[in-house]
Amino acid sequence: MATLCRPAVSVPEHVITMEETLELARSRHAGHPQLSLALRLMENTGVRTRHLVQPLAATLAHPGFEARNRVYAAEAKARVPLVVRRALEDSELRAAEIDMIIYVSCTGFMMPSLTAWLINTMGFPSRTRQMPIAQLGCAAGGAAINRAHDFCTAYPQANALIVACEFCSLCYQPTDTSIGSLLSNGLFGDGMAAAVVRGTGGHGIRLERNGSYLIPGTEDWIAYDVRATGFHFLLDKRVPGTMEPLAPVLRSLADEHGWDASDLDFYIVHAGGPRILDDLSTFLHVRPEAFRHSRATLTEYGNIASAVVLDALRRLFDEGGAADQARGLLAGFGPGITAEMALGRWSRTPGRSQRSLNDEVKPPA
């Protein structure tokens, strides 16, 4: 059974506090008719600090989409290998034992994907499958877990590496002054994460079931308007209320598995904002403390898009994990509006794959 091992997470060294964010908004948008509303919304996110891939002055400048995308590629190559190496160590695997790399990001563009560069520079086999996911936004962290689960279910001796790299600050658009844009300027942060899903062995969450769901008619609620200046983030005011229709979907997935979504041992969910967590607590009848790891990610790092789910899971590992066979739910939410959901049990049984490089039990090439 596929096991999601401990994620490795890294955030850049440049930090901006909420106090600094609010002061910037006041100075740069002094005449905005809804400035007081924007400031109140930013304060209510619960974000206290965010990390930026560039110094603040460079973040606020806009040298053009081409220059920003070059920064994205260079910084990804400089920073991602660290989390990849740590994730491999935590899974007790070598690069040569990875059969698929799933790379998720919605904040820059590369073709070929960073997966090709990782294979060529970090010792992954040339036969390694590549699965870049670029357009699921914050839901992509959950989608990556689910696609890795599917792959390792199909090929039980295989292993998949998940990599999430999000430099949300590179999408800052100084001319966008809608309330949704101003809110996003105080919500999103930069971060990278990696985790291995092992087909056999390993210690972490034994994945048992996954599912996807798209709320009909909401495809324009979270979107990019792609212009010459890059990605312009569009956020509909109805997005915070999406947990009301999605909570029954989470409950249904658990019901199909014979579990009660209100009575699980741990919950790892994407924290797009505090209302997401508050509403899940209400509609799933789960105590607020159950979402403490997601809330901690939001407070310390902001919304780091697809990397949120992996960071929240990392915090559960750091806390000591859960009891053996404890039942849990993982979920990511993003554009569509899309939910990517998974159920699994905590496994404290460590294991080391005995597969050698010459092992014949592999996915067909």
Contact 218, 337 (CB under 8 A): yes
CA–CA gap between residue 347 and residue 107 (Å, rounded): 34
Contact 284, 262 (CB under 8 A): yes
DSSP track, 234-291:
EE-TTGGGGHHHHHHHHHHHHHHTT--TTS-SEEEE--SSHHHHHHHHHHTT--GGGG
**Co-location of 306 and 342 in the same domain:** yes
**Co-location of 217 and 150 in the same domain:** no
pLDDT score at 350: 56
**Co-location of 162 and 238 in the same domain:** no
**Co-location of 212 and 276 in the same domain:** yes
**Co-location of 193 and 210 in the same domain:** no
Domain-located, residue 225: yes
pLDDT score at 355: 38
Candidates 106, 138, 168, 171; catalytic one: 138
14-17 and 49-52 beta bridge pairing = antiparallel
What letter represents residue 36's amino acid?
Answer: S
- pLDDT averaged over consecutive 10-residue blocks of the chain (365 residues)? 96 97 94 94 94 96 94 98 98 97 96 97 97 95 98 97 98 92 94 97 96 96 92 90 94 97 96 90 95 96 97 96 96 95 89 37 39
pLDDT score at 1: 87
Instruction: Choose one of 143, 173, 198: the last residue of a domain.
Output: 198
pLDDT score at 345: 97
Look at residues 251, 183, 179 and name the one whose alpha carbon lies nearest to residue 211: 251
Q: For the chain, how many helices (H) and strands (E)?
A: 11, 14
Burial of 227 (0-12, 13-18, 19+ CB in 10 A): exposed
Prediction pTM value: 0.93
By residue range, what is the domain housing residue 245? 204-347
Task: Kindly report the CATH number assigned to the domain that includes residue 44.
Answer: 3.40.47.10
**Co-location of 112 and 226 in the same domain:** no
Query: Would you state the structure tokens that stand for residue 16, as one six-digit string?
Result: 């901006």
Domain-located, residue 364: no
**Co-location of 145 and 254 in the same domain:** no
Angle formed at CA 336 by CA 186 and CA 151, multiple of 5 degrees: 105
Q: Say how many CA atoms lie within 13 Å of 120 toward its Cβ.
A: 7
Domain-located, residue 353: no
**Co-location of 178 and 236 in the same domain:** no
**Co-location of 217 and 184 in the same domain:** no
Task: Note if 138 is an active site residue.
Answer: yes
Query: Would you state the structure tokens that stand for residue 208, as one six-digit string?
Result: 């048992």
pLDDT score at 361: 32
The full 3-state SS of 83-149, as one line of letters, equals HHHHHHHHHCCCHHHCCEEEEECCCCCCCCCHHHHHHHHHCCCCCCEEEEECCCHHHHHHHHHHHHH
**Co-location of 68 and 180 in the same domain:** yes
Query: Would you state the structure tokens that stand for residue 220, as one six-digit string?
Result: 């324009």
Q: What's the number of domains the chain is made of? A: 2
**Co-location of 69 and 129 in the same domain:** yes
Instruction: Choose one of 198, 220, 236: the last residue of a domain.
Output: 198
pLDDT score at 272: 83
| 55 SS3 class | coil
Look at residues 163, 161, 164, 165 and name the one whose alpha carbon lies nearest to residue 197: 161
**Co-location of 186 and 208 in the same domain:** no
pLDDT score at 358: 32
Instruction: Choose one of 198, 217, 247: the last residue of a domain.
Output: 198
